[in-house]
Structure 1
Amino acid sequence: MEVIHERCAGMDLSKRDAKVCIRVPGTRPGSYTKKVTVHGAMTRDIAQLHDLLKLQRVTLVVMEATGDYWKPFYYGLEDDLNLMLVNARHAKNLPGRKTDVSDAQWLAELGAHGLVRGSFIPSWPIRDLRDLTRQRTLNTGSRTREIQQLEKLIESTGIKYTSVASTTLGVSGRAFLEALIDGEPNPEYLANLAKWRLRIKGEQLRLAFQGNFTAHHALLAHMHLERIDGIDAHIEQLTEQISQNLDAAGITWARDLIATIPGIKHVGAENILAEIGADMVAFPTAA
């Protein structure tokens, strides 16, 4: 099989260290030697590993995308070494693997023969943008879960305004809930807090507010609202920072262009841009 990289390294990563196999030409023509060493995951250890790989004139370093453990190694070695981050499942599923071959040795073999494909690693501005958009997505999910828990609490009191109003925390829903938390028990008063088109459902609302919302429920509902408001503040802060990062990177135009696709708004466009970047040279084909 053709050898593409005469000097190749494979790295098996964990939280505490990396097992590194360096594959270099042997003393006899066509032969290769492999030596496995273990290196810590501290910044100093990674710097020493960098020096070793440079000393061995390694032209490709292959590492698996194991959790987030690859990041310190990748970021510490990427400046002047040719790195390839590969999908662990893809590397292990290739035919020909022997069970007694370590992951590091196997990755070195695959890299030497050009049998693995690297994952897309964007530039630093896009990496920072990706951190922000993914954090916003996590916050949005947390907000949804808080609202679901709040709805369950309201349902347990027998109050059914969430069946009449379209959203639990719309303008009217928020007014209903804050009044309940403040200790307002009167269904007529609560129903009159409805805004806009919801006001025509006054009779349904009066019936919906006939429940048993106690001080106990008010305490829990208030805690849910505080958490939701905190998450909203974080989402707003993240969105503002994302916009600033796009401006600083000079790619706001790409966000606006993606947002012209039917069904994709600015948030979705920012998420897409954070995952693929704005430079399509990284992708040889549309596929």
Structure 2
Amino acid sequence: MGCDNCSGTGKLLIAAPLTSDLEAMANWLVKLGITTVVMESTGVYWIPAFEILESHGLDVKLVNARHVKNVSGRKSDVLDCQWLLQLHTYGLLEGAFRPDEQVCSLRAYMRQRENLVRCRASHIQHMQKALRQMNLLLDNVVTDITGKTGMTIIRSILTGQRDPKELARHRDKRCQKSEEEIAKSLKGHYRAEHLFALQQAAELYDTYGEKILACDAALEKQLEKFDSKVEPASSDDPGPDQPAKKRKSRSAPSFDVRSQLNRVSGVDLTKIDGIDENTALKILSEIGLDMCRWPSAKHFASWLGLCPGTNISGGKVLNRKTKRIPNAAATAFRMAAFTLMNSKSALGAYCRRMRSKMGSPKAITATAHKLARLVYSMLKHGSAYVDKGQDYYEREHKDRVMKNLKKKAEDMGFMLVPAESVANS
């Protein structure tokens, strides 16, 4: 990094190094016989340096700045580079997780797609605002204004149609509201400036939709580069031993994600309740396919930040809060756990029991922790997930509670007898 003083103004300009400078630095390090390089994560500036150094055969470790600062013994007059050198010499630094090149590319495409979906969502809000300003209460009669009925009506308005009855005729047969109800909500006060805002929002919505489709094509092409672990199978035919096909999310990619993920991972993560195609793709793009990076499922859950805290002093638990880690995979697990609140599966029953004990936020984290362990086991051992149902989980929970109660009663000199046996005697 270079810095220049701006002609006495007191401002400091930070200039990123040129690619030629990074190439020269990498060649110089190789010439000196350097084999390992340690660097801190600084925004996105570390990425080109990391990639260029790695391409020259160097073992590059990206370390967490918080971990480096928490090591005792550092003086205030020591430069960061000297402190990193000292810690690395003693073997006290551990590189951050970074998947292989194929997964990194997949992750970049996936994150770009999420940015596009987020930007498109903002233009849905702009369309909603323009409709409200004209008192066109389209959201009162359709669940989603970007659905088939909603977008057909909006495009008809933009072409010049103003008659509510004519607009209501675009109602899809699956819409719950009648044409009369829709027509009443589409009688509005049309103004040129609001129509202009609606037109621009709709055009931007369509533009981002096209970009998302292009991103989906790039995602599919990248997935095809992965080696196959099993023969690809169509998700349209789940088979006799497979569960029914889950409803595909509207935000999911346009191609057959399930069959591609089954081919590259060897397991079907969508069998797990709460994890759909989009969530499974998001998780795999963040953690990769090699679970050997984590020795056990506990290490994996700890890396995700889904484990309880270990703030214990003198045998007394002071705090059990989970670590605040900005992990995209952990966010995906939490979103999957949130969808299990009303599920009739064993995971849904577990989530509701945790909610009754600890509240919704902690219950979501606990369920996300269980989902993470299931995904780890499936990817590492190639095992399949079978949901035994809500009733099975409730019976197992009841048996555990009864066993503990009987043990406590025996310790206190009592015997636990079912009420039915006492009534019959």
TM range (shorter): 0.7 to 0.9
Q: 2:28 aligns with which of 52, 57, 74?
A: 52
Q: 2:197 aligns with which of 220, 225, 239?
A: 220
Distance 1:40 1:153, change over 3 A: closer
Q: Under a length normalisation based on structure 2, what TM-score does the superposition of the two structures give?
A: 0.55
Structure 1, unaligned runs of 5 or more: 1-13, 18-38
String of CA shifts for 1:50-98, please: whole Å, max 9, x gaps. Answer: 2332344334311011111111111111132121001223322333332
Does 2:169 match 1:165? no
Q: Is the 8 A contact 1:254 1:273 kept in 2?
A: no
For the residue of structure 1 that corresponds to 2:200, the secondary structure is helix
Q: Under a length normalisation based on structure 1, what TM-score does the superposition of the two structures give?
A: 0.80
Distance (Å, rounded) in 1 between the aligned partners of 2:174 and 2:167? 16
Number of the residue aligned with 2:161: 184
For the residue of structure 1 that corresponds to 2:175, the secondary structure is helix
Q: Is the 8 A contact 2:16 2:45 kept in 1?
A: no
Distance (Å, rounded) in 1 between the aligned partners of 2:159 and 2:27? 66
> What is the letter of the counterpart of residue 262 of structure 1?
D
**Worse-matched range after superposition: 150-159 or 260-269:** 260-269
> What is the letter of the counterpart of residue 281 of structure 1?
C
Q: Is the 8 A contact 2:141 2:177 kept in 1?
A: no
Sequence identity, in percent?
A: 31
Q: Is the 8 A contact 1:40 1:46 kept in 2?
A: no
Number of the residue aligned with 2:19: 43
Does 2:253 match 1:242? no
Q: 1:153 aligns with which of 123, 126, 130?
A: 130
Instruction: Point out which structure has higher relative CO (alpha carbons under 8 A, 6+ apart).
Output: 1
Cα deviation for residue 121 of structure 1 reads 1.8
String of CA shifts for 1:106-130, please: whole Å, max 9, x gaps. Answer: 2112212222221122222112111
Cα deviation for residue 40 of structure 1 reads 7.2
**Worse-matched range after superposition: 181-190 or 253-262:** 253-262
Q: 2:273 aligns with which of 240, 247, 262?
A: 262
String of CA shifts for 1:259-280, please: whole Å, max 9, x gaps. Answer: 3322222222222221111122
Cα deviation for residue 232 of structure 1 reads 0.9
Structure 2, unaligned runs of 5 or more: 4-14, 229-259, 301-425
Distance (Å, rounded) in 1 between the aligned partners of 2:127 and 2:101? 39
Count of residues paired in the alignment: 252
Cα deviation for residue 199 of structure 1 reads 5.9
String of CA shifts for 1:162-212, please: whole Å, max 9, x gaps. Answer: 122100111110111112112222122222221113264333322211211
Distance (Å, rounded) in 2 between the aligned partners of 1:281 and 1:77? 24
Distance 1:219 1:115, change over 3 A: same
Cα deviation for residue 147 of structure 1 reads 0.4
Runs of 4+ aligned structure 1 residues displaced above 6 Å come to none
